[in-house]
Amino acid sequence: MRRIFTFVFTCSESMFTSLPMNLEAAQMLLRRFICIERVPADQMPILEDIQVALRQVCDRSDDQIFGICADSAQQAIATLHHYLAALGYSARPQPDAIAGSVYLKFNPKTQRCHLDIYTGTHRGVLVSCQSADDEDVNETYGHLPLNLFADIP
């Protein structure tokens, strides 16, 4: 059973209110992160709203692939584990750590994990949602915050 929620945006505050939302609102919120290096602090949605939005789009897609740009392998791996746990995956890949900034890519369906040196300036998580049905979600969101699910065990 899919739940339909409402979504509220208050322009004067440039912040999203922490309310459940429908799929369209979830996608609109997550699209704010596409192709930008960092969302300005005064325009950053509430973390709980980003969590709700990401769960919505993941629920409406068949598969997800995660890409993480981080300052270290340890940060990337911890971030991946938090995202996977929060989205209901049991996998906890442990790639060999390398020094410096990294890009980590993980496909839960194939259990393939790749960690490599990353020289770019972006930091955050890319979540590629893929569905067989065109009516469901087929889109990549990010760079989402590295700490989005850091407080969730």
Report which of residues 36 and 118 the model is more confident about.
118
Q: Longest C-alpha distance within the chain, in Å? A: 46
- Report the DSSP beta bridge partners of residue 116: 103
User: Between the CA of residue 111 and those of 14, 72, 94, 136, what are the distances in Å?
Assistant: 39, 21, 11, 23
| pLDDT 10s digits, 103-130 | 999 999 999 999 999 999 999 999 999 9
pLDDT higher than threshold 60 for residue 9:
no
How far is residue 112's CA from residue 33's CA, in Å, rounded to a whole number?
Answer: 25
Q: Residue 87: enclosing H or E segment and its boundaries?
A: none
User: 3-class DSSP state for residue 69?
Assistant: strand
The pLDDT mean for the chain works out to 86
| pLDDT 10s digits, 41-61 | 788 889 999 999 999 999 999
Question: Across the chain, where does the E strand assignment appear?
Answer: 9-10, 15-16, 63-70, 102-107, 112-117, 124-130, 139-144
pLDDT band at 5 (very low <50, low <70, confident <90, very high): very low
pLDDT band at 18 (very low <50, low <70, confident <90, very high): low
pLDDT band at 152 (very low <50, low <70, confident <90, very high): low
User: What's the confidence (pLDDT) of residue 61?
Assistant: 96
Return the closest-CA partner of residue 139 out of 50, 34, 38, 48: 34
Q: What is the pTM of this model?
A: 0.83
Alpha carbon distance, N-terminus to C-terminus of the chain? 26
User: Between the CA of residue 122 and those of 65, 75, 138, what are the distances in Å?
Assistant: 18, 14, 22
- Give me the CATH code for the 16-144 domain, please: 3.30.360.10
